[in-house]
Amino acid sequence: MSGSSPAARLQQLFEGRRLTPTQRRIAHSMVRRAGDAPFLSSVELAELAGVSQPSVTRFAVALGFDGYPALRRHLREVTPAGPVDGGGEDTYNEYQQAVLGEIENLRHLAELLADPGPVERAGRLLAASRPLPVLGLRAASSQARGFGYFAAKVHPDVRVLDEGGSMLHDRIDAARRAGAGALICFALPRHPREVVDALRYAREQGLAVVSVADSAFAPVARHSDLLIPAAVGTGLAFDTACAPMLLGRVLLEAMCDALPDAQARLEEFDVAAAARGLFIE
pTM above 0.75, yes or no: no
Residue closest to 32 by CA, chosen among 18, 46, 17, 48: 48
Spatial distance between the Cα atoms of 170 and 205, rounded to a whole number of angstroms: 12
pLDDT tens, residue by residue, 192-232: 999 999 999 999 999 999 999 998 888 999 999 999 999 99
Contacts of 142 (CB under 8 A, 6+ apart): 136
Mean pLDDT by 10 residues, the chain (281 residues): 63 78 84 83 89 92 92 82 44 81 90 95 98 97 97 97 95 97 95 96 97 91 95 86 97 96 92 92 70
Q: In b/e form, how buried is each residue of 101-139, taking b as 16+ CB within 10 angstroms?
A: bbeebbeebeebeeeeebbebbbbbbbebebbbbbbbbb
pLDDT of 180 reads 98
DSSP code at position 116 = -
